[in-house]
Structure formats: C-alpha cells, structure tokens
Structure 1
C-alpha cells in the first residue's frame, strides 16, 4: 500500500511540474508604441514583448498596423526573436487612431490575438502599403487541454495498476 501511495504522489507531482507552464497562453507585457499612448510620430519598428517565448513560424505570427482610414502601415515581414515579435513600420500618414493587430503562436501551441491602440497626434508624410500582411484566422494548431488531461489520467491509471500488481504478496514455492 505504501508503494502505491508513493507512486501515485510521484506521478501527480510529475504531471503538475511538467505541464504547469505548458498550459499558459502568452501575455503581452510591453509594446512600442504603448497601448493607449499618443505619439507625434510612429516608431520605425512596432515591437511587442511577451511573458514567454513565441513559437517561430511566419504562417502563425503576424502584426498589422491599421490607420484611421483602414490603410496598412507595416513596412515588412513580422519577425520573432524569443519573447519579442516585431515588424518594420512605414512613416505614418494622417493623424488619428491607429491599431496594432497581432496574432502570435503561444509557447503552449495556441494562438493569441489582440489589438494595441495608439493615437498619432501630428500627420506624417508617409504612404500606406497594400494590406498583404493580414492577421490569419487559422487556429494555429497545438494540442487542446483535454488531450493533456486524458493523457495524464491514462498514465495515472497505468501507474496505479502496476503498483497494485507488484505490491501483491508472493505465494511461497512448495
């Protein structure tokens, strides 16, 4: 019985320890420009920083910058460097509200989508780009949480079964 308790406790600790961080979605911790900020001119690069590394893959990670007229202002491809995702930004155009829309593939395999609004207070002389770098509506793959839970239950059941079988008293040989 003692062996069963030790084995069960070890299995539970291993499951919690191994899946704790894998089930958390990435959270935006910083952006340039800052959410809700007012700027005289846009930065040369839009930078988003997350609490965990972002999985690489251009089909999963995208940043678009939409201006007050619905025009796109990103000036190149989205890049990933660990926890940082960025895209070059063209010189902005009309003054008004801009929105950084992003999608990143979390470290746990799930996509995270959100927006970061900011306001341009002085009109710039830039021209927009065609909207080719759109935020994908694809799910991005990854494993659903229920798969991890089902796997843990199966492993726990196998462990308990093995512990019960090996813990049974042996019959003396006659």
Structure 2
C-alpha cells in the first residue's frame, strides 16, 4: 500500500471518531482526533491508563499549534527552532481540544512533527492528532511495529501499514514544560 493511501485510510478513520495505531517521529503511537472527547476516552481505555494522566498531541505546523494554544510564550518558538530531536512542549491555555485531553491546570503537551508519515497525517487531518505511546500503561513503549501488544492491535479501528518492517531503536520525545511567563521545566530529557 502506498503511504498516501495509508494516510487517507487513517484520516478517514479518525474523522469517523476512530482510533489508530501509527508510526510517529518517535515510537509507534495510538492516535485519534484530539478534538473528539469520545475518541480520547477510548484511547485511555485501550491503554488502561488513568485519565488524569495527560496525553500529547502532534501537529504539522506553527500555524496549527497556534489554533490550539492561546498566548504561546516567545521562548517556545525559540525552543522549537533550536531543538534537533523530537521535543514535546507542555503549554498553558489549551483551547479547542477535547476537554478530557487538557490537564487540570489547562495545559496541553504539543509537538510539531517533521517526520514524513506523521507530518503528512497531521497535515491531511487538519487538526491535532493524539499521540500516546503504543503500549498498555506501565509497559515499555513500542519502538517498532513488531513490539506492539496484540491486545492493542485488536482494540483499535485502523493499524497503519507504513513503516511496519522497520527495526531500529526509537526513543520517546523530550518533554519540556513552559509556563505562560516563560519558566522552563525539563520533564523528560
């Protein structure tokens, strides 16, 4: 299957409220429409994860990020330009997202992806895509498709074909929290 066809099927699935398994700029991810609270609730259920633990989202561009976070501090743009590996930034004042995706303090973890598959997926979907590691909560993240628990494969609505044969090490993203005032806290290096 061509990558473009794979992406189209994943987009159609998410538009219908479905949950997907897909390759990202880091590890394999479980994804859905970040504006659909029912889909987000399914992701928590599939992962056996407490919904008080936040999930992150991928977007394809600066412009898309600005639609879902109000008042992004200037230091965030400097950080996005400076990093050379996938970095998730937790930002205050999340808007226009599913209520059960936003942390109690109003923040959201967002990452602009440049990896070809996940970037094109986000671009074609035209909204943020939930991106949480493809694993049952407490188990190791699936670095490659072959690492994904069969329970997850049967629990989602669509499993992407792209990059299934890849066998190389992948790491979760770095996570940095930025307050509205520009205070920086490193959560995960």
- TM-score normalised to the size of structure 1? 0.26
Name the one with the larger strand percent: 1
Name the one with the larger helix percent: 2
- TM-score normalised to the size of structure 2? 0.24
Q: Larger RCO: Structure 1 or Structure 2 (Cα < 8 Å, ≥ 6 residues apart)?
A: 2
- Whose Rg is larger? 1
